[in-house]
Amino acid sequence: MTELWPRISVGSLAKVGEASLQTGPFGTQLSAAEYVAKGIPVINVRNVGFGEIRDDDLEYVSEGKAEQLHHHVLQVGDIVFGRKGAVERHALIGAGQDGWVQGSDCLRLRLNCPRFNVRFVSFYLRTKAHQDWMQALCSFGATMSSLNQDIVNRIQLPCPPRPVQDRIAAVLAAYDDLIANNHRRIALLESMAEEIYREWFVRMRFPGYATAAHERGMPLGWQASTAAAMVHVQGGGTPSTEVSQYWGGEIPFFSPKDSHDGAYCLETEQRITELGLENCASRLFPKNTIFITARGTVGNLVLAGEPMAMNQSCYALVPKIDKKPYFIFTGLKCAVDVIKGVSNSGVFDNVVMDTFKIIPLINPGDALRDRYSEVAGPIYEQSLMLRRSNMHLRATRDALLPRLISGKLRVDALDIKFPPSMQPPAEKMAQSAIIKQGLVHSG
């Protein structure tokens, strides 16, 4: 794929001290009992994405333990691979993860040579050709893909001139920066919708609360209810995996693996055909259906971003009293978060139909539920719009990726502006000073 440029193996770089590899700590160095509720994050294989960190299920160690594991403390620019089951993935450590600890099931690559831009290397590792090579090599003769230092040493990195690497990385990083910025906006929007719900229906400071009459600690007209009383619970199913005609179609097929990214699900790992839908127990659920995961990663709630089917490890929840899902969805999310946070009873080890009888919900009446939907609906819709934008940005970036990395799409003559995440610290400081100076003069 990179015939235009020479290649250098990681092993060759390691021999001359321009690269180093570090396997994660052994079980005797870091046991499960040494994890703490809060502290220094540990990156395990489940946290390794495609160039990024998946930080929604982190574990932590104390600062003292991190000092004991100083050989495994990560630096900006490190590349972390998963050693089992996710060998085609890697995470590039940025400023936000500097000082985190590499987990036992990970392997770290550290490049110590100026001839490589680590962002360029990370983008190369995200190409399909490299991922297919890793899968083939790591799966040979094994039931589960497994990565070791010998395989990483055999990776052949393309080595165009450093200015070319910088330009290619800048083009692709600009897309990543836009995606990351949209993710931050999404998180703020969704937290805003939840905070409004808590303000109105938990703290009971809703519009008109100052003059509202109360009885037994609750405003008149409000009722304590449950999820079972306020939603219809529906199941799903999976078409036979032995029939190829059921799979690879246009219909998104939701499973617990797709529930890790906030309020909305737009993309699923698997898709089924119309024939597959006809031959499984799931129906096609419309946009804004509420899904809750019942097994695996239990108790996660999402809204369907488009019509999709659902497997049997989840439930679909359809509000009985509202046309729009926003009040029920946010109420369920707040209630489930509280139960998961304080319960030691195993309520969410495995969600069953009876579980919905013990999930508490407030019913404040039609008018206030509608009022909340009028406020929260546009917030959730904006969140969905940003997710769609990210989907298109990823598609464009992924289409450019192999052509840029291979040199088929040249960047030599382009006047490329480096995105903020790739600007040298001195340049960032200079820009900050110019902005501050402008503010002073304008004031």
Nearest to 306 by CA among 322, 285, 320, 291: 285
- Average pLDDT (170-195) is 95
Q: pLDDT of 65-85, one tens digit each?
A: 999 999 999 999 999 999 887
Q: What angle do CA 421, 427, 428 make, to 5 degrees?
A: 50
Per-domain residue ranges for the chain? 7-159, 223-363
Residue 395's pLDDT band, with cuts at 50, 70 and 90, is very high
Q: Which of 113-117, 182-186, 409-413 has the lowest mean pLDDT?
A: 409-413
Bin 51: left if φ > 0, else alpha if -120 < ψ < 50, else beta: left
CA distance 116 to 135: 24
Q: Provide the 8-state DSSP code for 199.
A: I
Q: pLDDT of 130-164, one tens digit each?
A: 999 998 888 765 556 678 899 999 999 999 999 99
Measured from the Cβ of residue 391, the count of other Cβ atoms closer than 10 Å reads 13
Nearest to 123 by CA among 320, 411, 436: 411
DSSP string, 104-171: TTEEEEEE--TT--HHHHHHHHTSHHHHHHHHHHHHTT-SS-B--HHHHHT-EEE---HHHHHHHHHH
Q: pLDDT of 28-52, one tens digit each?
A: 888 888 999 999 999 999 899 999 9
pLDDT at 375: 97
Residue 344 has pLDDT above 70, yes or no: no
Which residue do the tokens 């050693």 mark?
83
Which residue do the tokens 């039609």 mark?
366
pLDDT at 266: 94
**Helices and strands per DSSP (H, E), number in the chain:** 11, 22
CATH class of 223-363: alpha beta
CA distance 300 to 329: 11
Look at the alpha carbons of 199, 201, 207, 212 in this order and tell me if their dihedral is positive or negative. Answer: negative
Contact 379, 193 (CB under 8 A): yes
Q: pLDDT of 224-237, one tens digit each?
A: 999 999 999 999 99
Contact 164, 412 (CB under 8 A): yes
Instruction: Write the burial class of residue 442 (CB in 10 Å: 0-12 exposed, 13-18 middle, 19+ buried).
Output: exposed
- Average pLDDT (375-403) is 96
pLDDT at 443: 41
pLDDT at 423: 63
Residue 424 has pLDDT above 60, yes or no: no
- Please determine whether the domains at 7-159 and 223-363 fall in the same fold group of CATH: yes
Residue 1's pLDDT band, with cuts at 50, 70 and 90, is very low
pLDDT at 142: 55
162-197 helix and 326-342 helix, angle to the nearest 10 degrees: 100
Contact 209, 199 (CB under 8 A): no
Calculate the average pLDDT of the chain: 89
DSSP string, 346-388: -TTSS--GGGGGSSEEEE--HHHHHHHHHHHHHHHHHHHHHHH
Collapsing DSSP to helix, strand or coil, 333 comes out as helix
CA distance 298 to 293: 5
The CATH number of domain 7-159 is 3.50.50.60? no
CA distance 128 to 143: 22
Q: Which two tokens stand for residue 272?
A: 């089924």
CA distance 77 to 90: 12
pLDDT at 347: 64
Instruction: Write the burial class of residue 308 (CB in 10 Å: 0-12 exposed, 13-18 middle, 19+ buried).
Output: buried
Distance of alpha carbon 243 from its chain centroid, rounded? 31
pLDDT at 348: 65
Contact 9, 155 (CB under 8 A): yes
Strands 50-51 and 7-9: unpaired
